[in-house]
Amino acid sequence: GNAPNDAYYQTGKLVFFDAAPNFEKLSSIRGIANTIIGICYYLKTNPNDDDMKQSLQRLSNTLINHYDQNQSDEWEWFETLLAYDNAILPLALLHAVQILEDEKIRKVAFTTMKFLTEHTMQDGHLSIIGNKDWYIKNQVRSMFAQQPLDAQAMVLMYHQAFLITGNPSYLKKLFTSFTWFLGENDMRMSLYDFETKGCCDGFEDYGVNRNQGAESSLAYLISHLTVLQAYEASFQSNVSKSSPSVKQNLSGLQPV
């Protein structure tokens, strides 16, 4: 989430504030979710911006309202269907709860994440909702087409849940979601192309869509980097809890 240098940060900040007047004009809940995530990253380095914090609260409340209007005992979700980029919605609230510390936001974030998990983790692998007819409440879900953007959002969602809770089960789900790219999926075929280093655009009913668009390749790369970051953080956390002798031995290790 941090820019690699100040020049990138300042450029990003300019773009962010150019867009800011439009934040609360958004009506798409996925647009709102992405905006919430962006605001949260901004507030982590600018925690005293009360106006932006109020915008975050209002946008988060909009997602909560969508949830309240559409949820039922059998359907804990923001809409009457599971469509595309689903995990971005609970992911946004998982980010928001770190800033706002709002119990309702926290409850909805974890409830909807659990609901999405129940409908996409099948037989030990990630099974993404297909975009042909989506998965409309009380109807049959579509198997195809499955897209990398959805797998990326699942990886990011579980990573954020792990950062908040420290629960290793989210780390396992994060890795399971990532391996969707590598063949642990409904088709048992790799989307990642080990020759070109790109990522195919998804699964159709006939097999792999061999086009390798920028969105798909970025989805793989972001997911890969998130996995590395998550496991590094987990390792460092375990080291910090270790005995002094273990820490001393680890500090003496040299790279091969």
Q: Which of 165, 167, 172, 206 is nearest to 189 (CA)?
A: 206
Q: Which two tokens stand for residue 137?
A: 């409440």
Q: List the domain boundaries for the chain.
A: 6-240
Q: Which one-letter DSSP state was computed for residue 180? A: G
Sequence-ordered list of residues with C-beta below 8 angstroms from that of 26, at least 6 positions apart, any chain: 32, 35, 59
DSSP H or E run through 241: none
Judge contact between 84 and 149, C-beta under 8 A: yes
**The pLDDT of residue 218:** 98
Query: For 24-70, what is each residue's pLDDT tens digit?
Result: 899 999 999 999 999 999 999 899 999 999 999 999 999 999 999 99
Q: Which of 162, 159, 56, 38 is nearest to 99 (CA)?
A: 56
Query: For 200-251, what is each residue's pLDDT tens digit?
Result: 999 999 999 999 999 999 999 999 999 999 988 777 666 556 555 544 443 4
Percent of the chain with pLDDT over 90: 84
Domain 6-240 in this protein, CATH class: mainly alpha
pLDDT at 112 exceeding the cut of 50 = yes
Q: Which two tokens stand for residue 94?
A: 């998982």
Q: How many CB atoms lie within 10 A of CB 173?
A: 22
Class of residue 144 by CB neighbours under 10 A (exposed 0-12, middle 13-18, buried 19+): buried
Sequence-ordered list of residues with C-beta below 8 angstroms from that of 163, at least 6 positions apart, any chain: 233
Q: What is the reported pTM?
A: 0.90
Strands 135-136 and 121-122: unpaired
